Amino acid sequence: MYKIIARWLAGIVAILAVMSTGMDCKGKYLVPTNIPPITRLSNVPPPDSFIIAKNPLLTLYWVGDDPDGYVVAFRYRWNFRLNAASPFQYKPWSRVLNIIVSKFALMTDADESNITNVYKYFATLPPEGLSPDSANRLDSAKTLIIAGSHVWASNPKIIHFPVHVNPNSGTFIFDSQDSLNPHTFEVSAIDNAGAAGPPATVSFGTPRVSPPHTQITSSPTDTQLVIDRKSSTFQGIEFDFQGFDPNSRTVDYQWVVDRDLWPPDSIPWSPFTPATFARATAANFRDPYAVTHRFYVRARNEFGSIDTIGADTSFYTLYPPFLRPGYQHRILLLNNSYDWGAGGTAAHPSRAMLDAYYRALFDSAGQNGKYDLFDVVDVPNGPHIFPGLGALGQYSVIVFIGDVTGDITDPEWHHSFLGTRENMVHSYLNVGGKLIITAWNFPFPLNAGPEYTRQIGHLEVFRPDQVKGNFIGARGDKGYPDAVVDTAKLDTASWGQGLMSLWPGRPYGFGEIIYRYDARNNSFFENLAIGVRYLGTTFNVVYLGFPLYYIQQPVPTAIVRKALDDIGELNR
């Protein structure tokens, strides 16, 4: 019995001894604390030295190590002061991830508590890397949201001189308002535990740089028609300029019109952009209806220094009266036809006869008293009198009349609508004018030419119908009446029983067919477009590729009414 008790006691003691020993063998040390990462700036002077840089642009390099983990990011900042009397201020921390993904150096607004999660997302991407959509966003300078934080590329393609192209260097422009500007730059590595190590620092001074020099390289010399908005045909009045700064990699510009006419505290300078041109509209003018203006431009270099002198130039504009409030609708009949003189006949009318015909036509179309007639006078080897932009701008509609040519079989004879005349009508249209063209042989290269016919008339032509007397009329569409050539006005000996040298084709762009060619005996041209209307958002054109004068009455009256109706000018 005693032995049994002794054995039991010995056993219990042994168990207690083992337990006691086991308890005693438990570790008494704590889990090792994180060792912060180490950061070093490379190629910098010793910490106790101070250098002065040549300009405010410096590239700094750094590396980071973590003894017990890995570096996920770097954060950096620097200090500056506005002048020698001001206190030092610090820029906010910036953070760049310690990874390059698809060639991007990635910046983030994640703080130390989340930056490891952001890093891990990019570090664990599949072998193919970022999705194309994400890569495109980064390359377009847009942000991604990763683990609840924003991430963007420091070097998207639209930034020519990025701060970072990798996480171990940065090219910075340091604030340099004063003649000498001291800075201390600090950079710290952040490890996978989210701890930032002690910063590596460098101190230096940067000088103030001189501003760029600005020069205007081109500006309009003639008076320009102008409106207060841009459209597909009016992009504004263009000025080109250039800034010069040998110290700066980039120069950007801002401009204003009529600077000295605006209140000094609200001069509407444009935002700074790198564009070396400006396009001004009347919306940029202090008085949109004023004729004389002055354009100012100034440049800024990448250090923020602005050319306080800038460059300026005068220019002249005309806001079309037909676009001003209270304008009374008025039509200009612009007779650009050949003048057969006093011996004019029905087939070869004089200018006066054609004027009389069109007066009667527009009177019958209900426009009595609403039009003026301008005869373009061509004097061989002399001045060509054509209305200027100021005159054209007085009219809401121009009716271009080129119905009569010289000897149509002689290429030297034409009604001459070229060069500056074309350009002036084009400028008139670009700001919202309306045009009706009635002309014979209009696309002939010594008249308007095929390109102008395409751009303005919206009819694409290839070659004229040179078969004698082949054009006998035109079939109307879109509400236009059929037109038949008036045989009483034909020079049948020369032309046959119809007209020739007309240019049918096919509509261009938004042009719509309003007339189709009616040929006597040449099926090639049959039903091709010979009349087109273009109702655009800026300007409207009704192009009649045949001379209205030679069409049997009363159809021309109906055509005029329909054309005016199409362009919204019939009952104004």
Partner 1 sequence: MKRKNAPFVALFFFPLLVLALNLHCQYDYSSPLPGLVDIRLHTISDSSRIAFSPQNIFVLKITQVSAVRSDLALATVYGDIKAIKRLTGVYNTLDAHAEDSSLVIGQADLPPGDYLGILMLIAPGGTAILDGYRNIRVVTPPGFDPTLQFQRSFKISEQRTTRIVLTINLDSSLVKEAVGYDPDTFLFTPSYYISSVLYE
Closest CB 452 distance from partner 1, rounded Å? 14
Nearer to partner 1, 310 or 432 (CB): 432
Q: Does 241 bind partner 1 (CB under 8 A)?
A: no
**Interface segment toward partner 1; rule CB under 8 A; list 261-269, 370-378, 532-540, 560-568:** 532-540
Distance CA 515, CA 482 (A): 8
207/568 with CB nearer partner 1: 568
The span of 89-97, 228-236, 418-426, 559-567 binding partner 1 (CB under 8 A) equals 228-236
Region of 84-92, 227-235, 341-349, 392-400 interacting with partner 1 (CB under 8 A):
227-235
Q: Which is nearer to partner 1, 64 or 507 (CB)?
A: 507
Shortest Cβ 234–partner 1 spacing (Å): 9
Distance between CA atoms of 263 and 329, rounded to whole angstroms?
36
Looking at residue 337, its amino acid is S
Q: Which stretch binds partner 1 (CB under 8 A): 13-21, 250-258, 432-440, 536-544?
A: 536-544
Reduced to 3 states (helix: H, G, I; strand: E, B; else coil), residue 432 is coil
Q: Report the residue from 54, 157, 230, 463 that binds partner 1 according to the rule CB under 8 A.
A: 230
Among the residue ranges 70-78, 381-389, 491-499, 502-510, the one whose residues contact partner 1 (CB under 8 A): 502-510
Contact 88, 150 (CB under 8 A): no
Which residues within the stretch 97-156 sit at the binding site for partner 1 (CB under 8 A)? 133, 140
Among the residues of 51-165, which ranges form H helices? 115-123, 132-139
Strand partners, 41: 62
Spatial distance between the Cα atoms of 446 and 412, rounded to a whole number of angstroms: 8
CA pair distance 253, 300, nearest whole angstrom:
6
**Among 7, 54, 249, 506, interactor with partner 1 by CB under 8 A:** 506
Any contact of residue 458 with partner 1 (CB under 8 A)?
A: yes
Q: Find the shortest distance in angstroms from Cβ 227 to partner 1.
A: 12
Query: Min. distance of Cβ 539 from partner 1 in angstroms?
Result: 9
Q: Minimal distance in Å, beta carbon 139 to partner 1?
A: 10
273 lies in the site for partner 1, by CB under 8 A: no
Nearer to partner 1, 184 or 430 (CB): 430
The only residue of 349, 432, 511, 531 in contact with partner 1, by rule CB under 8 A: 511
Q: Quick one: which H or E segment has residue 201?
A: strand 200-207
Asked if 393 is part of the footprint of partner 1 (rule: CB under 8 A), the reply reads no
Cβ-based nearer residue to partner 1, 374 or 508: 508
Q: Does 439 bind partner 1 (CB under 8 A)?
A: no
Planar angle of CA 307, 312, 316, nearest 5 degrees: 160
User: What is the smallest separation between the CB atom of 218 and partner 1, expressed in angstroms?
Assistant: 20
Q: Which is nearer to partner 1, 57 or 459 (CB)?
A: 459
Which element (helix H / strand E) includes 265? none
**Stretch 59-88 residues interacting with partner 1 (CB under 8 A):** none
In contact, 469 and 521? CB cutoff 8 Å: no
**CA 250/CA 270 separation, integer angstroms:** 18
Q: Note if the bond before 554 is cis, omega within 30 degrees.
A: yes
Measured CA to CA, the distance from residue 183 to residue 90 in angstroms comes to 10
Are 74 and 62 in contact, with CB atoms under 8 Å apart? yes
Q: How far apart are CA 377 and CA 351, in angstroms?
A: 10
Rounded CA separation 66/201 (Å)? 18
Pick the closer one to partner 1 by CB: 59 or 527: 527
Interface with partner 1: number of residues (CB under 8 A): 19
Q: Which of 315, 440, 444, 508 binds partner 1 (CB under 8 A)?
A: 508
Q: Can residue 205 be called a binding residue for partner 1 (CB under 8 A)?
A: no
- The sheet with strand 38-42 has its strands ordered as 38-42, 57-65, 169-173
Virtual torsion, Cα 436, 461, 550, 515, nearest 10 deg? -70
The two structure tokens encoding residue 465: 């119908």
Distance CA 71, CA 342 (A): 98
Q: How many CB atoms lie within 10 A of CB 279?
A: 14
538 touches partner 1 (CB under 8 A): yes
- Closest to partner 1 by CB, 49 vs 537, is 537
Binding partner 1 (rule: CB under 8 A), the pick from 131, 235, 292, 409 is: 235
User: In a 3-state reduction of DSSP, which class is residue 26?
Assistant: coil
State the Cα–Cα distance between residues 247 and 260, nearest whole angstrom. 31
Residue with tokens 């590239």: 59
Q: Does 231 bind partner 1 (CB under 8 A)?
A: yes
**Which residue in the set 240, 363, 512, 526 belongs to the binding site for partner 1 (CB under 8 A)?**
512
Residues found near partner 1 in the complex (CB under 8 A): 133, 140, 230-233, 235, 458, 506-513, 536-538
